[in-house]
Chain A
């Protein structure tokens, strides 16, 4: 097990280095000059040339790549061209915001998705099964921005139940400690504000969680159906166990293994790709941070941002694999 872990961690490095190389070459293949975009129409040509020199944009790109990697090895993640702030310092609040939103979305997606999947499998071909699967189909194909705007229209504007944008009520701001507002309000013992923060989380996490929810529901259903037809479940049923017990105790354990993979992959995807949700709900997350960096050709931010997200992604994958072994003794990492 330990040797397996070490092996897996060792593999991370070539993967991440390969990543940097790919991202670097793609970025430099996109037309568009950072000096032109960031300084805009209001700056002189001299300033733009000075910026290009400073960024070493006139050097061959392989040399630029090695310079970047050299800095990276020394722990320098680079400085944003647009904001002129070190990325390592700048990215933390964005990551925290994204982490909070992803956690809430996956909580929603997993809870609803798994339960809907179980019920669908348990009551296969019932009206519930059909309805749930149709909704899952709609959910998978729902454009997020449309869903987001509709949610705002209905729950914020028409019903006044929930706030439409942001992470907290600015008229009663949360003192930030960790940038994870849920945690911050608990640490400060401000239960009223905790409720406010939760309210701000509801709409964006439903919007972001809808697609994973649908995928998880369908995966759970098919996986459950497979398990429910296996011998040991028939045995359990024959022994006269209650339906509920059979489904939730015996079947679920094995059925969840493939679902775990999906959950892991989806979590990784949400951590890096919530640009639309973050835009609609004015959520200051890492997706929009990188998206804006791409628009303004802020090379260091694009490179480092994607690298960090890739790193999180592979770590999550590793964790999922390790969880497998914990759940299923048949899987043996030797």
Chain B
């Protein structure tokens, strides 16, 4: 017992030392820790997790990310974390070329479109099998599309809703797809009610991954926890909020893939803890590096920076329901009073570019000739005076700043404060409100409390329609058009572009649309960010996709 007392003493002292030893004005938890290059590499000396050092290269990948999947059936989810995993288990008929949003063949080898754009015929890749050993064929494709589109389907299990299907191919009552027919074992024909320009772009989305009909019938509501597709990895185990384990699909139809034997995806919510785990060799790759950790990453030879192609936009939206923001002069004035470059340098560690249009420059149809409202406080004041406010706005402006971190906006409150300081200079007082996320979304959708709000969007399908129409058309009220911006001319352009199948003509329409949006200034587009990942230096073959999902099948370790 006496010994125990002494041990306790030692323990307490030890704790005391540990606490006082690293409390020297170190309030970020990361200063003074410039990487981990003290002659040792993070991955090879951590007894906490002994990596395979059997002379062969590592064949298991452990990926750390901030959240967990909600469900593993891609058809019933809309969140990126769920789709990321589903993408490894399922293939869609088409896929995006790695690192881009350009469509290429996947389960379908080729396709033909009739000139009127009302019929698409896909030739399927022969000999493909689902993970449960059943055949992938035209019937399987028909089964999946029926499951998603028929509200009375017996395979639409309790709580299921096929949200992406409804939003990409029209809700029940105004479906784009009339029917899906199995012409023969390896030919599928889609008959449309009306032409849909982004049809192929949509078909390639992860959410339309083809599930094994036999498994859906057998597992029923449990399918969402035990998914079965044709993808490069076979689902093995899901420990909620902890890890998802995927095994190599040895019968994968793409020759020589996947290169890894196993992928384990771990949920590590805290950004700094996730980075610590990477430095400590407990994980091999991490999503969403915080801009604060960028310098530590760049100083470490054991780690490498990986950039996801920018495919998002963060913006401030003006609430047209509120005066004086229905006045274009006021909107333009405030647009002139935002210093985007300064914000990028201060809060994005330079990992972003200033946004001019509501869609990212990497997307086709982007209008290069649109010039931004340059940062010019005198111009801003002059415009305010023209609008009838020579002394600035009489009432304080309520600015909603995002309470959560998103890839397009790591720290909304800080950005809002910077903007607040700028607007102060032109006589506009700003009150920043940052309610909890669920409330935030509700309030901005109702448009009763906010004058100006901050939000962002990541593209789904690599089509300009998914930015311009989805976010700024009058059809998106109430919903994603939280500015309540209505412009009939724009509406005509955007709905016309949806039915136009000639890409050249569509490009023209979208370029015009961007001119209109620029002149009306319903938004202040802020930035397009480059989301950052970090991985071990010897991790190769990883090409992140712009939409946030990519196959892990090409990854290997040197």
Contact = CB atoms under 8 A, between A and B. Distances in A.
Interface of A: 30-34, 36-47, 50-51, 54, 79, 81-85, 90, 93-94, 97, 111-112, 115-116, 118-119, 128, 131-132, 135, 138-139, 142, 145-154, 156-158, 160-167, 169-171, 173, 176, 199, 206, 210, 244, 248, 279-282, 284, 288-289, 292, 295-297
Interface string B160-181: 1101101100011000000000
A238 B51 CA distance: 63
Counting chain B CB atoms within 10 Å of each CB, the highest count among A31, A46, A146, A170 belongs to: A170
A147 B1 CA distance: 29
Interface stretch (B107-115, B186-194, B240-248): B240-248
Interface in B13-54: 13, 15-16, 18-19, 21-23, 29, 33, 36, 45-52
Given A44-B171, A93-B240, A154-B22, A37 B16 contact: no
A116 B12 contact: yes
Contact of B13 (A83, A131, A138): A131
B273 A152 contact: yes
A148 B273 CA distance: 9
A152 B279 CA distance: 11
Contact of A90 (B16, B240, B268): B240
A170 B264 contact: yes
Given A43-B163, A44-B166, A282-B266, A33 B33 contact: no
6 contacts: A41-B480, A42-B163, A115-B4, A116-B12, A135-B12, A139-B15
Interface in B131-169: 157-161, 163-164, 166-167
A14 to B, nearest CB: 32
B538 to A, nearest CB: 16
B16 A131 contact: yes
B282 A79 contact: no
B496 interface: no
A119 to B, nearest CB: 5
A228 B348 CA distance: 61
Interface stretch (B328-336, B408-416, B437-445, B484-492): B437-445
Nearest to A281: B273
Given A154-B22, A170-B62, A248-B1, A132 B12 contact: yes
Contacts of A132: 9, 12
A295 B437 contact: yes
Given A94-B241, A157-B33, A171-B60, A166 B441 contact: no
Contacts of A147: 19
B29 A47 contact: no
Nearest to A81: B159
A286 to B, nearest CB: 10
A297 to B, nearest CB: 5
Contacts of A131: 12-13, 16
A45 B13 CA distance: 59
Interface in B90-113: none
A115 B438 contact: no
A244 B1 CA distance: 9
A37 B282 CA distance: 32
A32 B438 contact: yes
Contact of A164 (B224, B245, B280): B280
B478 A45 contact: yes
A46 B166 contact: yes
B11 A44 contact: no
A83 B71 CA distance: 6
A239 to B, nearest CB: 20
A172 B33 CA distance: 29
B1 A296 contact: no
Nearest to A142: B19
A42 B438 contact: no
Counting chain B CB atoms within 10 Å of each CB, the highest count among A156, A248, A292 belongs to: A156
Given A31-B439, A41-B441, 18 more contacts: A30-B439, A36-B438, A45-B479, A46-B171, A151-B18, A154-B18, A157-B33, A157-B279, A163-B49, A165-B268, A165-B276, A166-B282, A169-B48, A206-B15, A281-B273, A284-B267, A289-B240, A297-B438
B272 interface: yes
Nearest to B166: A44
A37 B5 contact: no
Interface in B266-301: 266-270, 272-274, 276-277, 279-280, 282
Given A111-B8, A153-B33, A153-B276, A47 B268 contact: no
Contacts of A160: 45-48, 280
A296 B438 contact: yes
B382 interface: no
Nearest to A34: B438
Contacts of A161: 47-48
B239 interface: yes
A165 B15 CA distance: 20
Contacts of B437: 32, 37, 295
Contact of A135 (B15, B167, B264, B479): B15
Nearest to A156: B280
Nearest to B60: A171
A87 to B, nearest CB: 12
Contact of A170 (B16, B241, B243): B243
B159 A149 contact: no
B167 A170 contact: no
Nearest 4 A-B pairs (CB), nearest first? A32-B438, A115-B8, A84-B159, A43-B163
Contacts of A248: 1
A199 B12 CA distance: 19
A43 B78 contact: yes
B49 A169 contact: yes
B268 to A, nearest CB: 4
Contacts of B48: 156, 160-164, 169, 199
Contact of B273 (A40, A139, A165): A165
Contacts of B480: 41
Contacts of B282: 163-166, 169-170
Contacts of A47: 161, 163, 166-167, 171
Nearest to A122: B5
